[in-house]
Structure 1
């Protein structure tokens, strides 16, 4: 039995409400059963991003029962191998294919054109088609919570960020973390190490150790293994999980984690196929829509830190807090965003610059 928050279950239809329908015809008529396939960039046992998507797949199977048949392929490389896998899943008679990593975008676009009667959805990308929709999560909202905790708990004023690839999604996270940390500790610095991988426990662990060697006493990550957490645990630093609650790997270091909720979106998409109403959508949900939730606070966190972190969560949900609100300076210290100006979604989705305080 997959367990989710009560709030999440109450809002399990939120994904439909978020969907912007893109040009394209609804696919076919009603179906008695849908075959849904999932493509993961990492192993389902990464306990991070791919694990979270697979929890969503299990949630889908649990909610729709014998109306859906699900399959998945794990540890698929971004590139030619992804195209081969996605094409095979379409050839195998799946009604919908969920491609869950940014690097699957071009292969998914190509295969979708070749299989116009199959529905495709791509996570975290921006290219669409007549039978290709996109869906994404505002991970950066959770990063702001992590940054608030980091700014309050760091003694050195130095955070370490283990990063995967310099794509807008990751850049957004680094910036949100740093902006929030500097709200409470103005001289806070975030050093970034790029590992050029989504899942490589050894490289991630080594990166975290290198960052701590440089003085970081807070470690966060946009990679998917528990490696950085375990490294932080061994050094007495604090750290945060990625995409799911990873506290069992580092009970002392793990302060909280961003938890990705994909299940309600998967249910909404498959139900639309069953109803004969599926159309390619453009979905970007965050805390308000319950796409993002924070794992339980570590009891070791001081009460004032818990309260400050919860204030960011509550403000994000009710719309009173937006981390990307000016004034914001860029990495060189130059004014980038004017006071009271909120960076629009379109600019966030192509973000390629760093805020003041980031050392990349």
Structure 2
């Protein structure tokens, strides 16, 4: 699939109204809101997200974006009400990108206020924005906290300048402790995102990054293996032999090193790529994805899921703006998931989290695989006896293979 390509699906109606099945059981599901900000100062060579630099926007102005996103929030409220969905406050709100903090804090605050005014926020709502270390200062973080943000996720990626250069990240690693301190002063929870397996990165480089991240004492850590996506600049560089392809064995060693290092520092894993100081610091927004909650995705290329109905918006900011400002749904396509697809996706997602997948949700063929998976050290035997399919450390490294066996 080319970078940021949208999946195939059925046509989405211009009014965006959802089929009746979307409202079934909605009272029992959490509701989250994702707001995509598709702007970046530079495009990193490994990235295939739906993002745009200033030279790629062709007349679209970042200064207009908050109003466009607010227009979709208003449309979403009409769609949900018209489709018979109960009014539910947002349990989580997540601003992702791109680099959301390229927009002024006032614009992000207005977008959050639109969500609050439209649906309300749960009393303990988690409100997160992603940020690059060089896209915020102390004043901006204070403004975000005052607007109602509770959490910031910084794209640290690495503490090693040569690794950051390969990834084409623009920040100085010495800035990371500063932005964490500023976020703390503003009363925000802090998450740091790391990437491992970058071409040329050594295990010592990775240990240096882990130590630097832990030195800031964040509340939450994410560590993702670098995936070389087809169509990206990095994929072309590897194909031409300009940089080495990531080494799978080294990448596995890096994951095990991260898990042991985080555990020793008091961070527990709760999803294959995520660790937190305690349950209260887990990303509840992302847990909503893994547990099959409802969410509405605002913005170009954003995906949404309500009650087994999934849809995705047009990709380019110009096409998106044209639709939402005309009062039309920006959805490019959608699909209504059948029971079998939902079952398979439940296995795929729930097996990744620490609570595991209830064994009762497996079909008979999959249950026959459990003994073999225990014998191979891929799932926890004691948890399985208690009725939960929970990955071991080895199982986390081979999670895709476990999923194939269980589906």
Identify whether the pair has TM-score above 0.5, normalized to the shorter chain.
Answer: no
- The structure with the largest alpha-carbon Rg is 2
Query: What TM-score, normalized to structure 2?
Result: 0.26
Query: What TM-score, normalized to structure 1?
Result: 0.29
